[in-house]
Amino acid sequence: MSTFNGNGQSIPKIGFYICHCGHNIASMVDVDKVQKYTASLPGVTVSRDYKYMCSDPGQELIQKDIKEFGLNRIVVASCSPLLHEHTFRVATEKAGLNPYFFHMVNIRENVSWVTGDKEAATDKAIDLVRAAIQRVFFHKPLVKKEVPINPDVLILGGGIAGIHAALTIANAGKKVYLVEREPTIGGHMAMFDKTFPTLDCAACILTPKMSAVKNHPNITLWSYSEVEKIEGFVGNYRATIKRKPRYVIEELCVGCMDCIDACIYKEAKYPDEFNLGMSKRKPIYIPFPQATPQVVLFDPDTCIDFKSHRCKKTCIEACDRDAIDLKQTAKYEEINIGSVILATGFKTYDAKFAPQYGYGRFPNVFTSLELERMVNASGPTSGEVLTKEGKKPKSVGIVHCVGSRDEKSNKWCSKVCCMYSLKLAHLIKEHTGAEVYNFYIDMRTPGKGYEEFYDKLMNEGVHFIRGRVAEVTDWALAAEEENKLTIRVEDTLVGVVRRIPVDMVVLSVGLEPREDASDVRRMFNISCSNEGFFLERHPKLAPVSTFTDGIFIAGACQGPKDIPDSVAQAGAAAAEVLSLICAGTIELEPNTASITEEFCSGCKSCIPLCPYSAISFKEDTKKAYINEALCKGCGTCVAACPSGSIIQNLFEDEQIFGEIEGLLRFAGIDLAGSETKGKELEHA
């Protein structure tokens, strides 16, 4: 039975405050009624309502009352504790009261926003408030834990977001480990030719940053590497990085590529990943000329020596620095870091899942990423836009929203496709002089200079047809359609179905979470939103933080984003990390568990339950012991202790029982038992 025995503390003097939150709460909950009701509850000294409790005057109201009436418990009924618990705790502390005497009731997200009936909402709010009043009786003063922050930072992903974050932090004098899965950093941006809307060359602005990363004394760049394991908590993470074997000693290789020339394969014959299979490479290769680090690597799946061990190994002979080591194995590095930035990027939608557009069926249907490579001077066609037959197309159709804004695939707008489609339209026209048709649902070009770019394209004579393309087909209805691809679309501005024959089709594929996003999410203990992108702590006010302290996100892993947005977010994440490092320490919630030795029977039930091995068994006293530095405060051991000897701060049994009884005591019909229970509680 949860009865208040005072715990040797002062008799509760509760101050209760209910927030209108403008109309957010007051329009659905009868604030006045709740306030008056609460005033009548035992222990409540002050009960007030106010328009905005979180505002400065609201907080001052609490502080004034604490001083004036000697309040020793504060309950605020307003929004979610995830939003403002911290605000009110600070306010309570400023008035000289221990902040853990404060408790928050969520009557916005849990009541006013989700209830359609004013009376029901008010009743629910009253129940929740009563529970909180009963709960705070049992609150105790607690001391915050402070832990130091390790100033080293791990950044996962070497695309433009990761690169920018790494440079920002490194320039501030902090140590950064940049881990990239591919053999080179640069990410998707390295594959692009030009960037919208300024049409400046992607390589020209990216490669200087890539080499800055390589040469920065504060950055340790581990390409071709993956995080195997991460453990610890904010300020004190420990990560294991797997460095996959390149079969080339990175420190010795200078990227002269003599080995590639010397390979016994005179012709490149394996599909080149960087050019999306549109060109060939040898079993020993460098992803692209500006790859960073400038180190070659072997593909063991295609190298003869790995398959049969019978190669002449001309590559080894060619290397005068003895950098090739075919016996290399994966290396594991263990690092201690204080914070992590995830900038793992995106993948593009697989156009094969939209079979009506014929990707993979008709050779002249390309994805936008393939076209990016094609228009790139260092790409598979040396910058020429060519059909599979090797001819310049006379007409090209660009199909927008492939894998975006589609109930059947991805519902979201990928945000960048309209702009990159415009860019590609411009480049195709520039390279070939072809007629270019854009098929769009809506043109979405918000952004500085973006709408102007759209305008420029219209003046260049690119055609825009509003309508979702029904299919790309090779069946010809008229002579001009023979041997071409025909795009069937309803032109919704004219109101007719059109058939437009073209030589080449470009599918503007949307952006998706990476296939292993959910593994990464699990490893780093963060959440994903429904579509699978990493979930930010708050969509507006904490866009780069996650629900796990010390883990930040930047770039397209959080949602589709163009380059400027990714860079801005990377900067924001870097700033968050630096603010954490500069503070030097971080306060942790004191919600850890501890053992009351006199009740512990030494049964050891709790020990295997703890995922952090925080509980040990003291052989001398035959009692369990919790190392509070290791305890994360989940409370699993507390719930399991058969003798009730484990206590979790902030979530003590008495507090929860208090809440349960507070919720049920007067609710609904008054069944015989609950009446007596209530009385007992009052007597105590």
Partner 1 sequence: MKYIYYPGCSLKSTGKLYEESLLAVFRALNIDYVELNDWNCCGATAYMAIDEDKAFVLAARNLALAEEQLKGEEEVNIVAPCSACYMVLLKTQKYLKENPADMRKVQTALYESGLAYRGKARIRHPLDVFINDLGEKEISKAIKKPLTGLRVVPYYGCQTVRPYSTFEDQRNPVSMDRLFKAAGAEIVDWTMKTRCCGASLTGTIQEVALPLSYVILHEAKKRRADVITTACSLCQFNLECYQTDIDKKFKTDLKIDVLYFTQLLGLALGIPPVELGIQRLFSAPDNVFKILEGGDHVYV
Partner 2 sequence: MPEENINKKWEPKIIAFFCNWCTYTAADLAGVSRLKYAPNVKVIRLMCSGRVDPQFILQSLASGADGVLIGGCHPGDCHYSEGNYKMLRRFRLLQRVLRSMGVEDERVRLEWISASEGEKVKTVINEMVDTIRKLGPLGLPGKISVYDKDLAELKNEIDTEIEVDIKPSGKEMVEHA
Residues of this chain, 494-523, that bind partner 2 according to CB under 8 A: 522
Q: Binder to partner 2 among 41, 245, 634, 643 (CB under 8 A)?
A: 634
C-alpha distances (whole Å) from 93 to each of 48, 74, 133, 588 are 20, 11, 19, 16
3-state secondary structure of 65: helix
Q: Out of partner 1, partner 2, none, which partner does residue 406 contact, by CB within 5 to 8 A per kind?
A: none
CA distance 479 to 281: 41
For partner 1, the closer of residues 148 and 355 by Cβ is: 355
From the list partner 1, partner 2, none, pick the one residue 477 interacts with, judged by a Cβ distance below 5 to 8 Å according to partner type: partner 1
Segment contacting partner 1 by CB under 8 A, of 3-11, 276-284, 468-476, 507-515: 468-476
Binding-site residue total for partner 2 (CB under 8 A)?
Answer: 61
Contacts with partner 2 in 324-353 (CB under 8 A)?
none
* Residue number with CB closer to partner 1 (471 or 653): 471
Task: Report the nearest approach of partner 2 to the CB of residue 319 (Å).
Answer: 45
Question: Nearest CA to 346 among 560, 495, 201?
Answer: 560
Q: Which of 39, 82, 120, 477 binds partner 1 (CB under 8 A)?
A: 477
529 sits near partner 2 (criterion: CB under 8 A): yes
Shortest reach from residue 361's CB to partner 1, in Å: 7
Q: Which is nearer to partner 1, 456 or 499 (CB)?
A: 499
User: Which of partner 1, partner 2, none does residue 358 bind to, with CB < 5 to 8 Å depending on kind?
Assistant: partner 1
If you write DSSP's letter for every residue of 359-390 in order, what string do you get? Answer: BTTBTTEEEHHHHHHHHSTTSTTTT----TTS
What are the tokens at 566? Answer: 């990714």
Regarding beta strands 270-271 and 280-281, do their DSSP bridges make them parallel or antiparallel, or are they unpaired? Answer: antiparallel
> For the chain, how big is the Rg over CA atoms in Å?
32
Q: How far apart are the first and last CA of the chain?
A: 11
Q: How far is CA 134 from CA 138, 298, 459, in A?
A: 8, 67, 70
Amino acid at 672: A
Which DSSP string do the residues of 534-574 spell out, in sequence order?
Answer: BPPSBTTTBSSB-SSTTEEE-GGGSS---HHHHHHHHHHHH
Q: Is 475 in the site for partner 1 (CB under 8 A)?
A: yes
State the greatest distance between any 2 C-alpha atoms of the chain, in Å, as a whole number.
96
Phi-psi region of 551 (alpha: psi -120 to 50; beta: other; left: phi over 0): beta
Cα angle vertex 67, ends 61, 71, to 5°? 85
- The encoded tokens of residue 201 equal 């060359």
Pairing relationship of beta strands 593-595 and 646-648 according to DSSP bridges: antiparallel
Using the rule CB under 8 A, is 123 a contact of partner 2? yes
Q: Both tokens of residue 494?
A: 């004219």
Q: Is 495 in the site for partner 1 (CB under 8 A)?
A: no
- AA letter at 435: E
Q: Where are the beta strands (DSSP E) in 93-173?
A: 102-106, 145-148, 153-156
Residues 397-436 that bind partner 2 (CB under 8 A): none
497 binds partner 1 (CB under 8 A): no
Q: Is 200 in the site for partner 2 (CB under 8 A)?
A: no
Give me the least distance between CB of 207 and partner 1, in Å please.
Answer: 41
Q: How far is the CB of 662 from partner 2 (least distance, A)?
A: 10
**Cβ closest to partner 2, residue 272 vs residue 652:** 652
Q: Which is nearer to partner 2, 67 or 411 (CB)?
A: 411
Could you tell me how many residues of this chain bind partner 1 (CB under 8 A)? 11
Rounded to a whole number of angstroms, the minimum distance from the CB of residue 474 to partner 1 is 7
> Which residue is it, tokens 């049994």?
653
Among the listed residues 309, 322, 671, 683, the single contact to partner 2 using CB under 8 A = 671
Nearer of residues 361 and 622 to partner 1, judged by Cβ:
361
473 contacts which partner out of partner 2, partner 1, none, CB within 5 to 8 A by kind? partner 1
Q: Is residue 640 at the binding interface for partner 2, with CB under 8 A as the rule?
A: yes
Q: Does 124 bind partner 2 (CB under 8 A)?
A: yes
Of 203, 200, 198, 201, nearest in space to 450 by CA: 198
90 part of the interface to partner 2, by CB under 8 A: no
| Position 408 contacts partner 1 (CB under 8 A) | yes
Kindly state the smallest distance separating residue 264's Cβ from partner 1, in Å.
40
Residue with smaller CB distance to partner 1, 99 or 358:
358
Q: 41: left (phi > 0), else alpha (psi -120 to 50), else beta?
A: beta
**541 binding partner 2? (CB under 8 A):** no
Among 530, 579, 619, 683, binds partner 2 (CB under 8 A): 530
Map residues 322-361 to x or -, x wherever contact with partner 1 holds by CB under 8 A. Answer: --------------------------------xxx-x--x
CB 222 within 8 A of CB 310: no
Burial 260-276 (b: 16+ CB within 10 A, else e): bebbebeeeebebebbb
Using rule CB under 8 A, residue 546 touches partner 1 = no
The three-point CA angle 379-384-386 to 5° equals 110
CB of 414 or CB of 473, closer to partner 1? 473
The partner residues of 654 in beta bridges, in order of sequence, read none
Q: Does 128 bind partner 2 (CB under 8 A)?
A: yes
Burial class (CB in 10 A: 0-12, 13-18, 19+), 309: exposed
Instruction: Note whether 360 and 370 are within 8 A (CB).
Output: no
Alpha carbon distance 223, 235 (integer Å) = 24
Q: Give yes or no for residue 659 binding partner 2 (CB under 8 A).
A: yes
- Select from 93, 109, 325, 471 the one that contacts partner 1 (CB under 8 A): 471
Q: Which is nearer to partner 1, 310 or 408 (CB)?
A: 408
> Cβ of 406: how many Cβ atoms within 10 Å?
17
Residue 421 interacting entry, from partner 2, partner 1, none, C-beta within 5 to 8 Å by type = none
Q: Does 411 bind partner 1 (CB under 8 A)?
A: no
Cross-strand partners of 585: 148
Beta strand pairing call for 469-473 and 485-491: antiparallel
Positions touching partner 2 (CB under 8 A) are 1, 80-82, 106, 108-111, 113-117, 120-121, 123-124, 127-128, 131, 522, 525, 527-530, 535, 547-548, 591, 609, 611, 632-636, 638-640, 648, 651, 653, 656-657, 659-661, 663-665, 667-669, 671-674, 676-677
- Residues of the shown chain interacting with partner 1 in the complex, contacts defined by CB under 8 A: 354-356, 358, 361, 408, 471, 473-475, 477
